[in-house]
Amino acid sequence: MRKFCEVCGKGVVYGNNVSHSNRKTRRTWAPNTQKVKVLVNGVPRSMTVCTRCLRSNKVERAL
């Protein structure tokens, strides 16, 4: 599943894990995305949407 929200554009963010001894290793933070059927202009379409957009009703789910 793509880790990219097709509604708000939220995607993967990169950074460092920093240990207690201050060693740095690369890591990623991915948004919680779900593949859902959404109504787009009255037509059902499958999209990858983050849970924040689902919760705030930025999209209308198709049943």
CA distances from 27 to 21, 39, 61, 63 (A): 17, 35, 33, 37
What pLDDT score does 1 carry?
66
> What residue numbers bound the domain in which 37 lies?
1-63
CA distance 11 to 63: 26
| E strand or H helix that includes residue 13 | strand 13-18
Longest C-alpha distance within the chain, in Å?
A: 55
* Total tally of structural domains belonging to the chain: 1
Q: State pTM to two decimals.
A: 0.78
CATH code where residue 47 lies: 2.30.170.40
Per residue in 3-59, pLDDT tens? 999 999 999 999 999 999 999 999 999 999 999 999 999 999 999 999 999 999 999
